[in-house]
Structure 1
Amino acid sequence: MFKVQYSHESIAAQDRYKGIIDAFIRVPKEQGFFSFWRGNFTNVMRYFPTQALNFAFNDLYKSVLLEKLNRSENFWKYTFRSLAAGGCAGSTTLCFVYPLDFIRTRLSVDVGTHKANRDYTGFMDCLRKTVKSEGVIGLYRGFFISIQTYFIYRAVYFGMYDTIRQFIQEDKRNLHFVSSFFIAQGVSICSAYLTYPWDTVRRRMMIKGTLSTGHAFAAAKRIVAEEGFRGLFKGALANIFRRGTQCLFPIELKSLCGE
C-alpha cells in the first residue's frame, strides 16, 4: 500500500503515508485491519503459477542455452547465458499471468474508508469493469514496460543466484541453508533496486486516471519532471523488504524436490 500510493493521483499529498510505520498505524484506523490483505486473493492466484512457470521456463531455457557449456572453461559466456535464460523465463511467464498482476495492482491502490468509496468490490468486479471500460486489451496496459522490468529482474535474480552458488560450491544441494539465504537476499535486493524505476513506471501506467495512456518513456519523463529522479524510487525500501522475505523459499523448495 505504501509502495503503490504514489501511483494514484486521487490520493492527496497530505493524505499519503509518510513511511512504513505510519502506514502500519493508519491503515487499520482508516480502512480496517483486513485492508492489509486487499488484493491478496489475486496475489495468491498469481504467485503460485508465476513461481512454477518461472522455474519451469528457466530450466527449459538453461537446457538450451547452457547445453554442453562448462562454467569453469567459459565463465563469462556461462554467466551471460544464465542471465539470458532467467530473463527469458521471466518474460515468458509474464505473458501468462499479466492480467492477474494488473488486477492485483489496481485492487491494492483502491483505497477508501468504506466499500462505497472504492472503485472495486473485488477481483471479479475489477475484471468486469476494466473489460467493460477499456476492453480486454485494458488488462494488458503497461505490458511492454513490464516485459522489460521482468526480463531484467529475472535475469539478475536467476543468473546471479545460479552463478554465485556454483562459484561458491559446485554441488548446489550441499550448500548450507544460511548461505543460500544470504545469497538469495543479496540477489533479490540487487534485482529489486535495479529494476525499481521500470516497476514504478509500469505500476503508474496500470492505474486508472494516472499515467494510463501514452508510452512508457513519456510516463517516465513526466514522473521525473514532476517529482525528480527520486520519484522513480518512491516506495523502493518497502518493495525490497517484501522481495527479501519471499525470495528464498521457492528456490529451496525446488532444491528439496530435486533439481
Structure 2
Amino acid sequence: MRFAIFRYALSREDFQWTYPRLLVLDSVVIVTNQLLFYPFLYAGARMANDVKAIGSMGNWQFNGIVDVFRKTLKSDGIAGLYRGFNIRLAEFGMMGAVSAGLKPWKQHYSSLLQNNVFWRHMVEFGFGICANMAIYPLDTVNKRMMMTSGAVKYKSTRQAIAQIMKTEGLKSFYSGAGAEILSCAVYKGTVLLIIYVADVIRAAKEKNDYCSRSTMEGSLRQMTRH
C-alpha cells in the first residue's frame, strides 16, 4: 500500500514533490499503514507466544485471532491492541535514519563490486545486518510491550526500557539477534542460489541456441553444395 500511494503521488504532474513534502508523505503513509495493520501484528505475537495453562492438559489462552481481539478489548480496551505502537514508529524512524547514513557507503562499495555478484550481495547483506542490529533493541521492547496486554507489566515504553536494563542487562535487548542474522543469511543465500540457477539455465539455453544455429547453418551449406 505504501509503494502504491507513492507511485500515485509521484504520477501527479500537477503537484511538485519536494524532499520535505515526500518526507511528510512517507511519514503519513507509514503511520496510516501501521494503524491499520498493527492490531494484526499484535494478535500474531500473542498467539505465537500462547501456551497451555497446565502442561498438555490445560487450555490455550486464545482460541483464535478473534478471541485475541475480544479478550484484549475486554481487559485493556482499544489501547491494548496498540501497546508498543510508539516504539514501532520509532523503529521505522531509526531504520530510515540508519539507512540514509549507510547509503553512500553501500553505494560506494556496491559500485566497486558491480562485476562480482557474490561480493556485491555480501556487502548488501553486511549493511542490512548493521541496520537491523541498530533497531533490534527497539524491536525487543516492542515485542515485550505487546506481551503485557491483559496483565500489564510495563506502564510505558520508558519504564519497559528501564526495567529490562535494570533486571536483565543490556544483553537482553539483543535476545534472538542470532536467529535474526541467520534468517537474513538464509534469505540472502536463497537469492544468490536463485541468481546462480538462473545464470546456469540462461547459459545452457544460449549454448543450445548456438548449437541449433550452427547445425542449421551446416545443413544449409550442404544443401547449397548439392
Per the TM superposition, whether the score is higher than 0.5 is: yes
Aligned to 2:64: 122
Aligned partners of 2:106 and 2:124 also within 8 Å: no
Aligned partners of 2:110 and 2:123 also within 8 Å: no
* Deviation (angstroms), 1:88: 7.3
Name the CA distance, whole Å, in 2 between partners of 1:243 and 1:211: 33
Check if 1:143 corresponds to 2:88: no
Name the CA distance, whole Å, in 2 between partners of 1:189 and 1:134: 36
Equivalent positions of 1:16-35 (< 5 A) are none
In structure 2, the CA distance between the partners of 1:181 and 1:88, relative to structure 1 (3 Å rule), is: farther
Aligned partners of 1:201 and 1:219 also within 8 Å: yes
Aligned partners of 1:201 and 1:232 also within 8 Å: yes
Higher alpha-carbon Rg = 2
* Deviation (angstroms), 1:227: 0.9
In structure 2, the CA distance between the partners of 1:114 and 1:123, relative to structure 1 (3 Å rule), is: farther
Name the CA distance, whole Å, in 2 between partners of 1:189 and 1:163: 14
In structure 2, the CA distance between the partners of 1:245 and 1:93, relative to structure 1 (3 Å rule), is: farther
For 1:235, the aligned partner's letter is G
Aligned to 1:222: 163
Name the CA distance, whole Å, in 1 between partners of 2:57 and 2:2: 35
Equivalent positions of 1:20-169 (< 5 A) are 53-56=1-4, 64=17, 91=31, 93-112=33-52, 114=56, 116-157=58-99, 160=102, 164-165=106-107, 168-169=110-111
* Deviation (angstroms), 1:157: 4.5
What whole-Å deviation, never above 9, does each CA across 1:151-192 have from its counterpart, x for those lacking one?
Answer: 21244347745873477449xxx8875456324422321122
Equivalent positions of 1:182-201 (< 5 A) are 182-201=122-141
Indicate the percent of aligned positions where both proteins have the same amino acid: 27
Structure having greater relative contact order (Cα 8 Å, sep ≥ 6): 1
* Deviation (angstroms), 1:225: 0.8
For 1:237, the aligned partner's letter is G
What whole-Å deviation, never above 9, does each CA across 1:224-244 have from its counterpart, x for those lacking one?
Answer: 110111121112111222345
Aligned to 2:180: 239
TM-score by length of 2: 0.61
TM-score by length of 1: 0.54
For 1:200, the aligned partner's letter is T
In structure 2, the CA distance between the partners of 1:161 and 1:61, relative to structure 1 (3 Å rule), is: farther
Aligned partners of 2:110 and 2:120 also within 8 Å: no
Say which SS state the counterpart of residue 62 (structure 2) adopts: coil
Name the CA distance, whole Å, in 1 between partners of 2:129 and 2:140: 16
Aligned partners of 1:206 and 1:212 also within 8 Å: no
In structure 2, the CA distance between the partners of 1:238 and 1:168, relative to structure 1 (3 Å rule), is: closer
In structure 2, the CA distance between the partners of 1:86 and 1:157, relative to structure 1 (3 Å rule), is: farther
What whole-Å deviation, never above 9, does each CA across 1:83-138 have from its counterpart, x for those lacking one?
Answer: 99987765554233211211111112113454843211222221222122222221
Name the CA distance, whole Å, in 1 between partners of 2:43 and 2:165: 26
Q: Which of 195, 204, 207 does residue 144 from structure 2 map onto?
A: 204
What whole-Å deviation, never above 9, does each CA across 1:28-54 have from its counterpart, x for those lacking one?
Answer: xxxxxxxxxxxxxxxxxxxxxxxxx45
Name the CA distance, whole Å, in 2 between partners of 1:156 and 1:236: 18
Name the CA distance, whole Å, in 1 between partners of 2:104 and 2:31: 18
Say which SS state the counterpart of residue 97 (structure 1) adopts: helix
